[in-house]
Each structure stands twice: as structure tokens, then as C-alpha cells.
Structure 1
């Protein structure tokens, strides 16, 4: 999966949760990724449900572990837990769903049939 650039209280960073990060999330939150996402969405989250997706997403996006953990904890201390909620939700949604605005299949209006270059209406004689 490609990293997603997210602007959050800690700055603009690349986030991605690949299989290794998702497994670490399960272990660290004692729940599967979709359960963690549901807890965030419904307001029944635990503090690690907010910290871990961001920390692990930063690591997956290329930040060193030694920098990612302290960065998230510093943002938590400065701004409070609730300020991490939308970022954690966004990182997890990207990992589980992909790009929300990326439609599946061909765009509307694409005609995959070969054409002769003229439309049926242009070859009919006009009524007089």
C-alpha cells in the first residue's frame, strides 16, 4: 500500500500501515484493526487506540521508531488525546479501505468498444 500524506498536529507526514504494522497494532491494542477503528469511531477508544495507529503509521511511512514514538507522545502531552482521534481514524481507514476517493473500475462515460469514427446519427439522412 502506498503511503498517505496527512497534515496533523505534528506536521505533514507520510503514514502507512502495512502487514507488519497492522500485526503490531493488534498486539499493542489487544484487538484487530477493524475493532480499533470501530472503537475510535464510536468514542469507546482506549488511549493506545489513538497512539498506536499514528506511531506505527509514521514508522510505516519511513520515520524511525526512535523519533515516531516520542513525537506522538509529545503531541499527546501538548494537545490532549482527543486531538489525535481524527488522525488515528484516518490512518486506519487508509490501511483498511484505501483511498476513499479512488473509484473502482472505469470512470463513467468510458466506451471500451471500438468505433468507426462516425456515430449512427451522423450517417442517417436528415428528414426534410
Structure 2
């Protein structure tokens, strides 16, 4: 299990690294979603998600994975805001799950998320066929 919660995931923007397993990012997510991270995960899993549960998890995950805040916002505006939200729920769920439980088959404590750009778990979401 990964202590850093970093995931490389193929989605509508291509393959990107996501990580919200940093205290500051979790606090930002909780503020934007007006609830704790476990509640965000439960809402994503149970189908009772809110807009920011999906949108902000992806945006902050991209930032935590090493993307600049500006590029992360552009990716979210292009691939989340302008498409049906439901196709991005699984992506948001996987990002939150990695932060809470870690990532299987990733060595613990080897590299920080920024250094681990090519490591960790890789997943493809249903949205991977969406146009860029």
C-alpha cells in the first residue's frame, strides 16, 4: 500500500498523476465540499455526490499529482465542466480512495508524489475515450 496515495490514471485528458493525500489538499477538498473526506468518498460511492465532490477532487488531485493549478483548472473546465458529470464519478472516487487507503503494489515511503510521477497504480476510467 502506498503511503502517498499517488495514482496514474488514464481519463479524458490522457494519462495523468493524481494525489490528494496531502493535508493541505484534503483540507481544501473538505472546505470546498463542506464535509469530511470520508463523507465525500461515501457520497461518490453511494451515488449521492455533489458537484464539488467530483470537480474539486479531480482538480486538487491533478495539483497534488504535480500539475500546475492553472493547467489543472483548464483540464477540469475542458473535461469535467463540459461533459456529463456522471462519467467522472469513478475517477473522483479512485482519487479519494487512494488518499484514504493508499495504492496497492506501490512501495511505501519510497518517493514523494512529485517524484513518483511514473510509479504507483494505473487505472483507466470510462471517460478515457472522450475527445481531448
- TM-score, normalised with respect to structure 1: 0.75
Q: Which of 53, 56, 63 is 1:59 aligned to? A: 63
Spell out, residue by residue over 1:91-120, the C-alpha distance to the aligned partner (whole angstroms, 9 max, x if none).
000000001456xxxxxxxxxxxxxxxxxx
Aligned residues: 104
- TM-score, normalised with respect to structure 2: 0.72
CA RMSD of aligned residues (A): 1.9
Distance 2:28 2:18 in 1: 15
**1:27 equivalent in alignment to 2:40:** no
Spell out, residue by residue over 1:26-70, the C-alpha distance to the aligned partner (whole angstroms, 9 max, x if none).
001101111001001111010110011110010001101111012
Distance 1:8 1:43 in 2: 20
Tell me: CA distance 1:96–1:2, structure 2 relative to 1, closer, same or farther (3 Å).
Answer: closer
Partner SS state of residue 55, structure 2: helix
Contact 1:39 1:45 survives alignment (8 Å): yes
Tell me: CA distance 1:98–1:25, structure 2 relative to 1, closer, same or farther (3 Å).
Answer: same
Contact 2:5 2:98 survives alignment (8 Å): no
Moved over 4 A (4+): none
Partner SS state of residue 15, structure 2: strand
Q: Which of 76, 83, 86 is 2:80 aligned to? A: 76
Larger Rg: 1
Partner SS state of residue 79, structure 1: coil
Unaligned ranges ≥5, structure 1: 103-128
Partner SS state of residue 7, structure 1: strand
Partner SS state of residue 45, structure 1: coil
Distance 1:66 1:99 in 2: 27
